[in-house]
Amino acid sequence: MYRRIFLTLMSVLISCNLDAQEFGTSISIHDKGKETYYVKGFITGLGTVDFLVDTGSSYMTIDEDALEVLKTQNQVRYIKDLSGVMADGSRKVVPVYLIDQVTVGSQCILYNVEVAVLPAKTRYILGLSALKMASPFAIYTEPQPKLVLSHCDTQAL
């Protein structure tokens, strides 16, 4: 199913005849098995993290432990509560915060990213709330897996 979605997305991107300049930032992705792709990242106030790249997730996610660290660093602001359906089909209400600065890879800085905070220890997800900020984007699996982003702030690096 994911392969079909990926191929559809790639067909749309190719047929849109996008300007090559829009895809200015290429980030290596690595497969941790089961066709799950991760990119390195950095959350200001938290440090280096691995993000699971998930175009099926509406929001970038962090866990409650990360939220507490970011609060002590004054790097987050509460926005709202969100009711959503989790991957297992359960419905949860989770808080949404605005993170001041997130770096995807070592080259793409995003500001004021909305993140959903999940309970317990969970992996960090690079979802659409962050990916849309750097759109258009593409995920390539061959010949070398990579995430290609546009509209990144690279001035601060």
Say how many domains are in the chain. Answer: 1
Give me the domain span that covers residue 61: 2-149
> Does the residue 156 lie in any domain?
no
pLDDT tens, per residue, the chain with 157 residues: 445 444 344 444 443 444 444 567 889 888 777 778 999 999 999 999 999 999 989 999 999 999 999 999 999 999 999 997 777 888 889 999 999 999 999 889 999 999 999 988 889 999 999 999 999 999 988 888 899 998 888 765 4
> Does the residue 157 lie in any domain?
no
Distance in angstroms between the alpha carbons of the first and the last residue of the chain: 37
C-alpha span between 89 and 101 (Å, rounded): 31
C-alpha span between 95 and 35 (Å, rounded): 29
**Sign of the CA dihedral with 5 first, then 11, 12, and 13 last:** positive
Q: Which CATH number do you get for residue 138?
A: 2.40.70.10
Instruction: Locate 40 and state its tokens.
Output: 């390195």
